[in-house]
Chains A and B, each alone.
Chain A
Amino acid sequence: MSSPVLSTAAAELLKLARRPSAWVLLAAAAILNQVFAYVVPYLSYTSGDGGGMSDGATPEQLLASTLPDQLVANTIGGFAVFAGALALVLGALMFGGEYGWGTVKTMLTQRAGRGTVLAGQLTALAVAVLGGVLVLYALGAASSALIAWAEDQAMNWPSLIDLAQGIGYGWLILLTWAVLGAALGVTLRGVALPIGLGVVWVLGVENLVSAMADSVLDALEPLRDVLPGVNAGSLINTVIIDRPTEPAPGVTDVVGEGRALLTLAVYLVVAAVIALWTSRRRDVV
């Protein structure tokens, strides 16, 4: 007999590997990352004048931003907003979808208790997100190596420590968003509403609060400093070094590294506890 948590995680990964929407999300994250981190800067560089899309950067700076030593910055740069939103959608799909299809009763009548099932699902989500992060890093490495080779530039890769930190922070950021999506999916017992609310929060509310705190209403600063997106952006900022161009949207320096790590960890744990508590106390009707 297998461990119920690992067995449930295996079931979830089996489903996820064959779920078209999971691959669409990964493809969307990869395309966004490749387009904004490599394709647009490289085309702007080859056009010779920055193409009007480079915020004043010189062609040399644009080329430098696509080279292997910028792998961590280029990959993790979009995690605060775009990839974060996609991770939230993944969490909502994985957990809320069970209610939409009624498969939650199939899942909960096999063997494992509700806590065990949720632990297995979260384990699978963590593995899937890590897989996604590694794929994005691999694609970024391939693109930067290709550009360096084409432009006869040096292949200076980040150190293993920097790379491991970049992967770890990226994993934490996306997993936090994904578990927030999962908690919404379980709490609202569906997919559409959690995705709608989550995406509005990530892309709209966070930016609005940050902008207001930065410009017209200082009183909002304490609220801004505990937002998950702001903390994710601050964490990303700590691993971006010697960036030749402007960082990606959402990357900020309002919170220090330690606090950002702690805040994201708290969001992760609280979201998981909310999902567990909700799942255990409600009837499945």
Chain B
Amino acid sequence: MNRSEFVVEVRKLTKRYGDNLTAVDRIDMSVRRGEVYGFLGPNGAGKTTTLRMLLGLVAPTSGDIGVLGQRPGTPASLARVGSLIEGPAFYPYLSARHNLRVVARYAALPSREIGERVERVLGTVELDARADDKYSTYSLGMKQRLGVAAALLKDPELIVLDEPTNGLDPAGMRDMRRLIRELGDDGRTVLLSSHLLGEVQQICDRVAVINHGRIVSEGTVDELRGDAELIVVATPSDVARSRVEAMQEVREAHLHDGVLRVQVDERHTALVNQTLVEAGVAVTELRRAERQLEDVFFEITQTPELNHV
């Protein structure tokens, strides 16, 4: 793959605070142009520190970062990146409209475009009706939406969103996910940090899992979830297990609480059923069950070893 297809490239990135705390530990990460990339990890894993380094807010201790082919935090990089880092931060005495006008000035947008851009992003996040109310009167969800509006103001190529659904009600979360997905479908690159596994599973093309400052897994959601399992409920279950284990096509089989979980390619499902029936086993349930990202996440964040997919 051509290197220019990577919007974010991170190599051996490390951030230490003092001698004892390593917040980010030699991570490698590549975000491709036009994808929605999930950055997944528990609280304190190093997600926000990494994002802050991508934006030049925090200086790395060592390692290389390229953002849109530029050094992080430079005007050439920041002009093409919209971001919402660790919650929205605006001026409480200003309205949403004036806050966005201030942000547009900081972004050095042309004066003649500011009004139109502000109205457009207010509409995108559906804040137009409350745009003249002071920011201090907003709910957490409205503040979060204003943060996303500010991130979109520059019409950026890369959007970095750190926990954008924090504080939103279920409907707000759904709308936010839809908006993020639309941004990705629009050709923008979205780097989404979250600890909500379902959120990442629903909207991200690829995912990196970070834990204790290290990337422990990176790949597509499907790659991370791995192959689906075959769930078999059959009687007698011990006979079913021994028959299935004897099959060459089966990689692994576990019997737990009367349920047999079989690691086998999908194309061999019928063969498993046929084998059991021919052995006189009564099959009452046979279905494929995909592993949820949540299962994988807990599996890999509890494993200290690196596990690159």
Contacts and interface: CB of A to CB of B under 8 A. Distances in A.
**A: interface residue count bin:** 20 to 34
A1 B110 contact: yes
Contacts of A111: 75, 78-79, 106-108, 154
A10 interface: yes
A11 B73 CA distance: 20
B58 A101 contact: no
Nearest to A284: B57
Contacts of A15: 91, 94, 102
A101 B89 contact: yes
A18 B95 CA distance: 10
B94 A18 contact: yes
Contacts of B81: 109
A3 B108 contact: yes
Given A284-B52, A285-B58, A107 B106 contact: yes
Contacts of A3: 108
Interface string A88-101: 00000000000001
B90 A105 contact: no
A52 interface: no
B105 A14 contact: yes
Given A18-B98, A103-B91, A106-B90, A11 B58 contact: no
Interface in A1-45: 1-4, 7-8, 10-11, 14-15, 18-20
Given A14-B101, A285-B58, A113 B73 contact: yes
A20 B91 CA distance: 12
Interface string B84-106: 01110111111000100111011
Contacts of B20: none
Contacts of B78: 109-112
Interface in B29-80: 52, 55-59, 73-75, 78-79
A108 B56 contact: yes
A72 to B, nearest CB: 35
A4 B108 contact: yes
B194 interface: no
A131 interface: no
Nearest to A116: B75
Given A18-B94, A108-B56, A283-B57, A113 B102 contact: no
Contact of A112 (B59, B98, B108): B108
A117 interface: yes
A169 B86 CA distance: 44
A48 interface: no
B301 interface: no
Interface residues of B, number: 35
Nearest to B49: A285
Interface-centre pick from A1, A102, A111 (highest chain B CB count, 10 A): A111
A179 B137 CA distance: 32
Contacts of A11: 102-103, 105-106
A109 B89 contact: no
Contacts of B79: 111
A118 B75 CA distance: 14
B71 to A, nearest CB: 11
Contacts of A109: 55-57, 78, 81, 83, 85
A7 B74 CA distance: 17
B272 interface: no
Given A102-B89, A111-B78, A112-B106, A283 B58 contact: yes
B276 interface: no
B180 interface: no
B232 interface: no
Interface string B148-162: 001000100000000
A7 B103 CA distance: 10
B111 interface: yes
Contacts of A7: 105-109
A284 B94 contact: no
Contacts of A117: 106
Contacts of A20: 93
B102 A108 contact: no
Nearest to B92: A101
Interface in A108-127: 108-113, 116-117
B93 A8 contact: no
Nearest to A104: B89
A107 B98 CA distance: 14
A113 B91 CA distance: 21
A256 B213 CA distance: 60
Contact of B150 (A2, A106, A112): A106
A224 B106 CA distance: 41
Contacts of B110: 1-2
29 contacts: A1-B108, A1-B109, A11-B103, A15-B94, A15-B102, A18-B93, A101-B90, A101-B91, A102-B89, A103-B91, A105-B52, A105-B57, A106-B106, A107-B106, A109-B55, A109-B56, A109-B78, A109-B81, A110-B78, A111-B75, A111-B78, A111-B108, A111-B154, A112-B75, A112-B108, A116-B75, A284-B52, A285-B57, A285-B58
Interface of A: 1-4, 7-8, 10-11, 14-15, 18-20, 101-103, 105-113, 116-117, 283-285
Q: Which 10 A-B pairs have the closest CB atoms?
A: A11-B105, A102-B89, A110-B106, A110-B107, A284-B57, A7-B108, A283-B58, A11-B102, A103-B89, A111-B107
